[in-house]
Structure 1
Amino acid sequence: MCPLSCIFRVTGLSMLPLLLPGDEVLVNPRAYRSRLPRPGEIVIACHPARPALRLIKRVAAVSGDRYCHLMGDNPAQSTDSRSFGAVSIDRILGRVTSIFK
C-alpha cells in the first residue's frame, strides 16, 4: 500500500449512482491509524476470501471487536457483507477522500 495517498479506479457497478466505472478515487491509507471507520464513510478493503481483490464499499456498521459491515450503494449489483460477512478493520486499506469523475 502507498504511504500517503493512492488513486484507485472504479471498475464495478456496486457504488452507483455515486461512483461510475472509470471514476477514480483518492484514498488515505493512514485514516484509521488513530480511529475506527465510521458508518457512512467509503473505504477500500481487501475481499475477505480473495485478498488480492480490492473492494470499494460504504461502512454500514462498526462493531466493538474491530469488524465492519461493508455495503455497496447499489445492492442489486454489490457483493458485500451480506454475502461475505463482517470485515476485519485490518483488511481496510484506507478511506476515500476525493472522487474524480
Structure 2
Amino acid sequence: MKTLWKITLGGLLLAALSSAWAEQPLGCVEVTVGGYKAPNYDCLSQQMGNNPDGAAAAQKNQEALSMPVYKRPPNQVGLATPAATSTRMGNTFGTSVKPQRPPN
C-alpha cells in the first residue's frame, strides 16, 4: 500500500511540475555552429512584436509613407529650404557663394 501511495504521490508531483514548466514562457535559444552564433529570429520577432504601441506606430509609418513625395515638405525630402540656407550662409546669403565664417 505504501508503494502505491508513493507512486501516486510521485505521479501527481511530476504532473504538477510539468504543468508549471509548460506555463513558463520559453526563452530564445542561440545555437553555435562552427563558432558562429545563429539566433532564433522567429522567437526574437515574437518578443519584439508584443509591444501594444507597435501597431499604432506601424500605422503612422504607413500613413507617412503613403503621402506622395511631391506633397511633402522640402525638409522631409532632404531639399534645402531658404531658411536653412540663410542660416548656413550667414550675412553673405544672396551676395556670395562662400558662407560666412567667424574670424580666426
TM-score, normalising length from structure 2?
0.17
More helix by share: 2
TM-score, length basis structure 1: 0.17
Asked which structure has the greater RCO (Cα within 8 Å, sep 6+), the reply is 1
Q: Which structure would you say has the larger Rg? A: 2
More strand as a share of residues: 1
